Every structure is written in structure tokens, then in C-alpha cells.
Amino acid sequence: MASHPDHPGQGTRSTELLSDHEHEQRVRGFRLTVVDGPDVGATLHSRGDDVVIGTHESASFRLTDRSVSRLHCEIAITSKGAMLRDLESTNGTTVGRVPVLVARLESAVEIAVGRTRIRFELDADDTTRATPRAEKFGLLHGRAPAMRRVFSQLGAAAATDSTVLLLGETGTGKELAAESLHRESSRAQGPFVIVDCGAVPSMLLDSQLFGHVRGSFTGAVASRVGAFEEASGGTLFLDEIGELAPELQPKLLRVLERKVVKPIGSNQWIPVDVRVVAATNRDLRPQVNQQSFRADLYYRLAVVVVTLPPLRERAEDVPLLIEALLASMGQASRPQAELLRSPQLLEELRNHKWSGNVRELRNYVERCLALDAAPSLPAHAASPPADVDLSAPFLEARERWLDRFELPYLTALLRQHNNNVSAAARAAGVDRTYLHKLLSRHGLR
């Protein structure tokens, strides 16, 4: 087993193959030391893994300082270096005495959370770790180091019945990851059931998840088997779990803990044998701090957490993904497919930002095949308008331009999704409540 030397540095990168099955990744570790506060002297050494600082028992670096939130902030080693992100904590986070939401950390900097001060120090040398060489896991494809880590995590999770929480932006492939996990697990012969927690009102979702008996409410003309019973022996995928209404969160927690459900209107508990995979396009930990999402439910869901990277962070995968998409459509041998294989176009596609991620790439491939031409990609940033009115105050001028953009955008968005606000919100990558506010503002709801 051999590898070529690589210069140590901050962040992550790939080196040569270790073996036929493994790939070496070099990553910079770091050390945290409490220098002031109730836990002075406490220390933690990370070999490149993400670290959450907080008072909850699940925090990687657990403190006893009561002015620190349960999940206060997170430190992650990324391609941009060591990044700290405040998780919407109650008392905030400062780096070098400057309040921050997101900050790049330099070595020997001081972080303050609550009444606690923590010294952050990068290791002098990189740590090497092996990741799978595989370019595929179930329905997922990728060569980038970030995707290899995803494949490793999903492969390990597939060997267990642990609950999995999938994180990632809209369009990164969370549903495909859930189905791949199901296919590679011992439950592959059982059903794979999908429930979108943001697509239906809470009363209907209650029935959809747990079932109901005839006559239990107005309109219940027949009994219904819920998704947990329907998925018995298989996997239940709960998409948009962050949209789950507060009144349903205790019921879901009970199922995860006790493995039983009670349909609406019934007095009997029904045992269920289900593996649960949940997904969300937003971080639930700030909601836990704000107590809008139950902490105990979050930790039951987040036994294994897998984050799918956005396409812009795995640009080297674009050619591989195009081939996989062409194959899935049965179009790989069509003459039109050669358009997508031209080196010039592939370079352009690799450099595109892909705000809609793999879903946007798929749409582009479909358009290319349908038009028998390579459609132009949308610009990364719009050109400044030529008719700016400098006589108007800044805020007034900005509002005018915002209105001119929002109304046609929202109208087209609703039309494309048949007035389904939940689907429109997911496609636009915004919270459903926020989209409702925008629609009301423009008289569209």
C-alpha cells in the first residue's frame, strides 16, 4: 500500500489510492481547550470530525455553563478551512471578541460561548484517513471525497436498523439516498414508503402516518392503515421532517421509542417493525434551541446523520452524473447525448453554480435531449439594471426592484407546481411559512 506525499494544509483533499478498495484523504485536526468558565481545563481533540459545542449530552464538547445553549455552535473542517457556525444560540458566539454567525477560524484564536472562553488550535500536521473507492452506492453516484464519505456512512448505516437523518440542500438527492439505504439493507425485500411531512395539513398527516378507524372524525367513512403499518418490515422515509407540526412530534417520538402506533379513534396499540429515515433541507438544531422542534425527537431521529454535499462542492462529479442520468433515462446511446460529452460544454457545466443541485442538472440534461442543442446556462449573477433611479432613497429603490422581481417569479413558481405551496417552497429552497408571507404580500394568497 503506497501513497504519494502531499503538503499538509488546512481543509481536505484527496491523494493517491491506498488500495483497490480505499482512498486516502488528508484532513487537519484541531484541539479545543476551555481557558475560562465553569469547565476550565476541559479539552477535546478532533482528528477532523465535526464538533458541536453545547450543554446537551449529545454535544461533542459538552459544557456545564448554563449560559451556553444545548447545541450552541459547530466547528467543521471544510475545503475553505476550519469553519465555525453559531446554531442560533441564545447568547451568541464570539471569535476574537467579534460576534459571529459564521466565521473561518485561524489557529490560536479564542472562542467565547456564554461565560466560557475556549482556545482553538489547529494541529501541526494533517491526519490521513481512508474512504471507500466506490463511485456508487445504490442509486447514488460520485467520485468526489465528500460523496465517498457519504457512501461510507450510508454503507455503515445500512448494516444496522438505526434511524438516519439526511441533511442537504434541495435537489441534492436525499430521497435517492434514502431509497439506496433501503436497497442495501436487510430490509430491501420489504416496502419503501414515502411520506412528505410538508405536503399535507397536520390532521391529514396524523392519519397518513398513524392511520384511523372508521367514524373517528368527520369524513372517515372507512378505516385507513397508516404509513408505519404500511411500511412494516421495510423502511419509512419521512421527507421534510422539519415541517412536522408540534402536536405530532410527541406521537412520532413514541413510535420511535416504543415501536407501537395507535390509529386515530382506536384504543389499541399496534406493534410496528419499521426502519425510519428522515430528511430535511435545513438544520434542525437551531429549532431545537428555539424549542420549536423537540430535542428528544431530534436525537431519536439523528442517531446517524448524513449530509449530502451540494453539487457546486463536487463539481468533478458532473461528467459522471451526466452519464448516470443518461443511462437512467435510457438515452445514453442517442446521438443527442454526444452534445453533453463535449469537453468544452463539460467544462462549462463543471464551473456552473447549480443552485438547484443534481435536480437542476437533470432538468438541463432533459432540455438538451429534447432540443437537440445545449441550452445556455443561467448567469451566476444578474447584471445590474440599466434604469436605476438614483433620485429615490436606497430602501425605496430596493423595494421597487424587489417587487418587480418577486411577483412574476412567484406567479411562475405557483403555476409550475399547480398551486401546491409546499412543492413550490421545496423547489425554491425556502421555508413554506416564508413563501406564504411572500404570496400574501403580493396578493397571490
Q: Is the pLDDT of residue 440 over 90?
A: no
- Using CA atoms, how far apart are residues 120 and 101, in angstroms rounded to an integer? 17
377 in any annotated domain: no
Asked if residue 340 and residue 297 are part of one domain, the reply reads no
**Nine-digit cell at 245?**
407540526
Long-range CB pairs of 291-295, under 8 A, 24+ apart, other chains included: 292/246, 293/242, 293/244, 293/249, 294/246, 294/249, 294/250, 294/253, 295/56, 295/70
Residue keyed to cell 412536522: 244
Specify whether the CB–CB gap between 309 and 150 falls below 8 A.
Answer: yes
Same domain, 141 and 237: yes
Spatial separation of the C-alpha atoms in residues 235 and 23, rounded to whole Å: 31
Shared domain check, 426 and 365: no
Does 295 reside within a domain? Answer: yes
Structure confidence at residue 310 as a pLDDT band (50, 70, 90):
very high
- State percent of the chain over pLDDT 70: 87
Number of residues in the chain: 445
**Which domain does 185 fall in, by range?**
136-307
Q: How many CA atoms lie within 13 A of 263 on its CB side?
A: 23
Domain match, 150 and 218 both: yes
234-245 pLDDT, tens digit each: 999 999 999 999
Does one domain contain both 294 and 426? no
d(CA 309, CA 331): 26
331 lies in the same domain as 421: no
**Residue 15 domain-assigned (yes or no):** no
Average pLDDT over residues 406-431: 80
Count of the separate structural domains present in the chain: 4
Question: Has residue 171 been placed in a domain?
Answer: yes
Same domain? 176 vs 279:
yes
Lowest mean pLDDT among 18-27, 268-277, 311-320, 337-346: 18-27
Q: Distance (Å, rounded) from C-alpha 411 to C-alpha 441? A: 12
Residue 184, domain CATH: 3.40.50.300
Do 302 and 321 belong to one domain? no
Asked whether the predicted pLDDT for residue 7 surpasses 70, the reply is no
The residue-averaged pLDDT of 397-407 equals 73
Q: What is the pLDDT of residues 186-236, one digit of tens each?
A: 999 999 999 999 888 888 899 899 987 876 777 766 888 889 999 999 999
5: left (phi over 0), alpha (psi -120 to 50) or beta: beta
Q: Same domain, yes or no, for 156 and 296?
A: yes
The verdict on residue 18 lying in a domain is no
Among residues 122, 150, 181, which one ends one of the domains? 122
Average pLDDT over every residue of 296-308: 94
In this predicted structure, the answer to whether residue 407 has a pLDDT above a threshold of 90 is no
* CATH at residue 72: 2.60.200.20
Domain co-membership, 267 together with 143: yes
Tell me if 176 is assigned to some domain. Answer: yes
* Local structure of 132: helix, strand or coil: strand
User: Is the separation of the CB atoms in 275 and 234 below 8 Å?
Assistant: yes
Which pLDDT score, from 0 to 100, does residue 13 have?
35
Average pLDDT over residues 349-358: 91
Q: Are residues 205 and 267 in the same domain?
A: yes
Q: Are residues 298 and 338 in the same domain?
A: no
Is residue 14 in a domain? no
Question: Does 379 map to a domain?
Answer: no
Which of the two residues, 430 and 381, has the higher pLDDT score? 430
